[in-house]
Amino acid sequence: MKKSVYKLFLFAMICAVALPLGAQTRKERKILYNSQYNYEIEPVGVGQDGTKVFKVWGYGKKVEDAVMNAKEAAVAACIFKGLPGGQGSAPTPPICSEPNAEVKHEQYFENFFKVGGKYLQFIALTNDGDPAGEDRLKIKKGYKVAIYVQVMYDALRKQLEADGIARRLDSGF
């Protein structure tokens, strides 16, 4: 009897010390989830010159909201995070390589990404039909959907350079 009580006490002490070390608080998880750099992107293939084609995931309470979120995430990934390489292509660096560009130019990006904003001009093609099968997942607070998108990457870069947000490639170091 004493051995089982001792073992139970030892197990409880180990759990009390070990569990809090690896656990994240709910607030930390929410910050990570809402991070502007938390995009799910999968390279698909090669697009026309000056474009990038990839699969991107979006979230929303309704499927339509998730599709719009995916379009926004596609353009935001090109600007802030860059795109992973795939099928023999090299990774693409972000257009805004300046640290904290989204904070420094907060007003510009707020207007750029507003509902129906300018970012939609740089989406060339999408599969706008409601995603189905593995590209449409029901989650706790709505939907997670994937769309295939073609972003006019070079035109986006030129626009951000013209607006003074991104450095020109020929500007040197």
- pLDDT tens digits for range 85-96: 776 677 888 898
Structure-model confidence comparison of residues 93 and 173, the more confident one: 93
CB-based contact 54:149 (threshold 8 Å): yes
- Asked if residue 158 has pLDDT above 90, the reply is yes
Per residue in 24-82, pLDDT (tens digit) is 444 443 433 445 557 888 888 777 888 888 899 999 999 999 889 999 999 999 998 88
- pLDDT of 2 > 70? The answer is no
Quote the CA–CA distance of 134 and 132 in Å, as a whole number.
6
Determine, yes or no, domain membership for 107: yes
10 domain residue, yes or no:
no
Q: Is residue 26 part of a domain?
A: no
Taking a C-beta distance cutoff of 8 angstroms, is the pair 135, 156 a contact? no
Tell whether 88 is covered by a domain: yes
* 108 within domain boundaries: yes
Over residues 83-137, the pLDDT tens digits come to: 887 766 778 888 988 888 888 888 999 999 988 889 999 998 767 667 778 888 8
CA dihedral of residues 90, 95, 96, 99 (deg, nearest 10): -10
Q: Residue 108 is which amino acid?
A: Y
**Residue 54, SS3?**
strand
Q: Could you list the residue range(s) of the whole structural domain that residue 43 is in?
A: 35-167
How many domains does the chain divide into?
1
What is the model's pLDDT at position 27?
Answer: 41
Q: Is a pLDDT exceeding 90 seen at residue 157? A: yes
**CA distances (Å), origin 44, targets 56, 83, 155:** 10, 11, 20
